[in-house]
Amino acid sequence: MGYAKIGLKAGLEIHQQLDTNKLFCACPSVIRKDKPDLVVTRELRPLAGETGEIDPAAIFEGKKRKFYKYEAYNDTTCLVELDEEPPHKINQEALEAALLVAKMLHCDIPETIQIMRKTVVDGSNTSGFQRTCLIGTNGYLDTKYGKVGIQNINLEEDACRRTNEDKESVTFRLDRLGIPLIEIGTAPDIKTPEQGRELAEKIGMLLRSTGKVKRGLGTIRQDLNVSIKGGTRIEIKGVQALKQIPALIEKEVERQQKIIAKKQKVKPEVRNAQEDGTTKFLRPLPGAARMYPETDIPLIPISRLRIETLKIPESIAKKEERFVKLGLSKDLAQTMSRWKNVKLFEKLVKENPKVKPNVIASTLLSIPKQVKKKVDHKFIPTDEQYAIVFSLLNKGKIVKEALLDIFVELSKQKDIEKVIIDFEKLSDKELKEEIKNIKEKNKSASEGKLIGIAMSKLRTRADPKKIMQLIKKT
């Protein structure tokens, strides 16, 4: 399809959770599966914004006349989430991360940040609004299809998590409410469906390189804005995977073309992404009427010195190249450079120069899965356990063949000092004595049989090459 001819314009909105405490209180940003401690019921009504008008999306939601139930916990949610207490000062760690992303995307950063309230009347926020603030404007990101403008970067609080719905009410959980989100809005510079996918991937990689973002399902969300000549901007929400983006753009173009062909007007609206690439109506497109200033939080000054001292991190692509030079295969380097705990890998490599980096990398990535196969329960070693084990390997006190067995024993909640005793590397003298005993007890066995017996007994306490050499000596 000739996308330039039909005037395709598309932009992305990326919403990425930050790995910090919540934005306006000290509660941890954790998602809970256990039963909540209390439930509060509310009814929300739409109100006029700063322009004096009521947002059409708010009116649409208000007409549903539903009650909203909010599930809360005593130890990980507080009165701020319930809107029974004013917000605290903004989380400085989250603000720092947002400022860093704005700098990495070449944005203009304001000298003063104003927290705003964005009207939300679908029940996903107890207050009826979402707190948000503008962090950067007029940035850009290079792609292989050309430069894409970054219109705005916002720092805002995530919404509640919907857990149930019936004819009279909707139930939300407060665990997600208030988790810091970076929202990146691009200019409508996407000219082809594939460019949309590449752009989303590049922004995601940039965010990961900061080391400040959450990982896993639901921690990053993409929205699409799509229009063509004769149509209008349609916002598509709920894009769950990068591979969906080309299909969603293609099908939205087709949908608008069919409406235009019938001499009808394309209505500006928010639509929900479906797995097959189609969309369905969600609500009218919101406008500026839903924004008004936050009165409970003072203006936040941002000094030039603060911006200048922000250190731009190494990109994931550069990190991958560096890992290949360390001796990792391209596939292993690619995986490790994107691993959520890559800092642990780099620390262990630095502290243990006698251990090959590819041994450290493959161990970190494989041990949890291998241990689970052995003991049938989930076990993720602590950073301290990894540090102790690799230190012993670096000092030559254990052999790498013992790594899996050591972690299997640690998964049984055994003390690491006691576990290591059973895997201490044999001295040359001790190994020779062990081989001598094996030969004496198996005088009629072939060399291959002797190697098998020796490996079975000694592989976790001696170098396999030495075992073979000693067996072969007559």
In a domain, 231, yes or no: yes
In contact, 188 and 10? CB cutoff 8 Å: yes
In a domain, 3, yes or no: no
Is residue 267's pLDDT more than 90? Answer: yes
* 103-108 average pLDDT score: 98
Instruction: Identify whether residues 256 and 377 lie together within a single domain.
Output: no
pTM: predicted TM-score of the whole model, two decimal places = 0.84
Region 98-110 average pLDDT:
98
263 with 322, same domain: the answer is: no
- pLDDT for residue 379 is more than 60: yes
pLDDT in tens, 57-97: 666 766 667 789 999 999 999 999 999 999 999 999 999 99
Which ranges constitute the DSSP H helices of 123-267? 193-209, 244-261
Question: Domain ends where: 306, 332, 359?
Answer: 306
Q: Which residue has the higher pLDDT, 47 or 291?
A: 291
Cα distance between residue 218 and residue 15, in whole Å: 10
Same domain, 32 and 181: yes
Half-sphere exposure of 416 (CA within 13 A, CB side): 14
Mean pLDDT, residues 305-333 taken together: 96
Q: Which of 8-17, 173-182, 216-225 has the lowest mean pLDDT?
A: 216-225
| Pair 349, 259 in one domain | no
Instruction: Looking at 262-315, list the stretches that DSSP marks H as alpha helix, in order from N- to C-terminal side.
Output: 304-308
> Are residues 334 and 442 located together in one domain of the fold?
no
Whether residue 1 is contained in a domain is answered as no
Shared-domain flag, residues 164 and 264: yes
326: number of Cβ within 10 Å: 17
For residue 4, tell me if it sits in a domain: no
Residue among 461, 454, 429 at smallest CA distance from 440: 454
Clarify whether residues 206 and 161 are in a common domain.
yes
Asked, for residue 344, whether it belongs to a domain, the answer is yes
State which of 288, 306, 324 marks the end of a domain: 306
Same-domain check for residues 229 and 346: no
Report, as an integer, the average pLDDT of 234-260.
Answer: 93
Both 230 and 126 in one domain: the answer is yes
pLDDT at 66: 77
Higher pLDDT, 59 or 210: 210
Which pLDDT score is estimated for 289?
A: 62
pLDDT tens digits, 398-421 = 999 999 999 999 999 999 999 998
Same domain, 399 and 432: no
Does 2 reside within a domain?
A: no
Q: Which band of pLDDT confidence, cut at 50, 70 and 90, is reported for residue 3? A: very high
Residue 474 has pLDDT above 60, yes or no: no
Same domain membership, residue 201 and residue 84? yes
Residue 265 banded pLDDT, cuts 50, 70, 90:
very high
Which of 9-13, 165-169, 229-233, 461-465 comes out lowest in average pLDDT? 461-465
Residue 128 counted as domain residue = yes
311 within a domain of the structure (yes/no): no
Residue 87: strand, helix, or coil: coil
pLDDT average, residue stretch 336-347: 95
User: How far is 238 from 230, CA to CA, in rounded Å?
Assistant: 25
Residue range 115-151, pLDDT digits in tens: 999 988 788 999 989 999 999 999 999 988 889 999 9
Amino acid identity of residue 183, one-letter, is E
Give the residue from 278, 306, 334 where a domain finishes. 306
Q: Is 313 helix (H, G, I), strand (E, B) or coil?
A: coil
Q: What is the mean pLDDT of residues 250-273?
A: 95
pLDDT of residue 59: 67
348 and 407 in a single domain? The answer is yes
The domain in which residue 327 lies consists of: 316-421
User: Which residue stretches of 309-463 are H helix?
Assistant: 316-325, 330-337, 342-351, 357-375, 383-394, 403-410, 416-421, 428-441, 447-458
Compute CA distances 147 → 69, 102, 198, 249, 343, whole Å. Answer: 45, 16, 12, 19, 31
pLDDT at 449 over 90: no
% residues pLDDT > 90 (the chain):
72
Specify the number of domains making up the chain.
Answer: 3
pLDDT grade for 465, boundaries at 50, 70 and 90? confident
CB neighbours of residue 429 within 10 Å:
8
Provide mean pLDDT across the span 290-301: 91
